[in-house]
Amino acid sequence: MPLEIVNPSSLPAPRGWSHGVLGPPGGRALFIAGMSGIGGAADGKLPPLVEQFGSCLDQTLEVLRAAGAAPTDVARMTVYVTDLAAYRANLKALGAAWRERFGKHYPAMALVEVKGLVDPNALVEIETTAVVPGER
């Protein structure tokens, strides 16, 4: 049973895809820690925002696979960025990076601009909650 989009008609249209996402009965919650956009940049070069975003998504997908989950099991995601203007300026490329990895699946999402992240070179960090179905 897939995740169910919850958009009450009593609320205005969501700014993103949905107001909420309901997990399937018998599912298990998977909480994925904040994945940093640096994600192993060993060469010392600081990747640009879009590459960091893609790296966060790739790391998230690795955790999902290790837990036996699929991208479509992601119910909630919070994206933390250090520069909201840069995020908005790259929306098209960020959207392409998303669709390349998650297709047309859009969980309940929030975007938060922060003063800084634990990794001082990171421009983005993503925290995720998924609901892993008991049986597929």
Separation of alpha carbons 130 and 2, rounded Å: 12
- Of the chain, the percentage scoring pLDDT greater than 90 comes to 55
Please classify residue 26 by burial: count the beta carbons closer than 10 Å to its beta carbon, then call 0-12 exposed, 13-18 middle and 19+ buried. exposed
- What's the whole-model pTM score? 0.84
All domains in the chain, ordered by first residue: 4-132 (3.30.1330.40)
98-127 residue pLDDT tens:
999 999 998 989 999 999 998 888 999 999
pLDDT at position 6, please?
Answer: 81
